[in-house]
Amino acid sequence: MASPLLVNVAELLRRAGSVREINRQIEVDFFKFDDSRIIAGTQVDVALTLEALTDGIVVHGALGAQWSFECRRCLKALTGRAEV
C-alpha cells in the first residue's frame, strides 16, 4: 500500500512557479506519535502547498490533530486541537 503522503511531483517539476494544494485526512495511527494525549483512531488533517522552483520543490503546510488528557492538578478531563 502506498503512503497517503506520497505525491507525484512530475507535473510540478515541468514548470517553475507551479503550485499544488494537497488536503487530506490521514489516520492518526499512520504517524506513530509517541504521545498518549493524541487521540487514537482519529484523523490528522494535512494541508500542504507544494511550489515548484527552478531547482526543486518547496513544501509548507499544517497538521491538525485532536488531543485529550487529564489535568494533574484538578483531574478535569481536557480536550483540544493541536495545530502545527
Give per-residue pLDDT as tens, 11-48: 888 888 999 999 999 999 998 888 889 999 999 999 99
Quick one: pLDDT at residue 34? 86
Number of domains in the chain: 1
Q: Is residue 1 part of a domain?
A: no
DSSP 38: B
Q: Kindly report the pTM of this predicted structure.
A: 0.80
Q: Does position 53 have pLDDT exceeding 90, yes or no?
A: yes
Cα distance from N-terminal residue to C-terminal residue, the chain: 26
The pLDDT, as a whole number, for residue 1 is 60
Report the alpha-carbon distance of residue 23 to residue 74 in Å, rounded: 38
Structural domain range at position 69: 10-83
42 part of a folded domain:
yes
pLDDT, one tens digit per residue, over 58-72 is 999 999 999 999 999
Q: How far is CA 75 from CA 14, 16, 33, 61, in A?
A: 56, 54, 24, 34
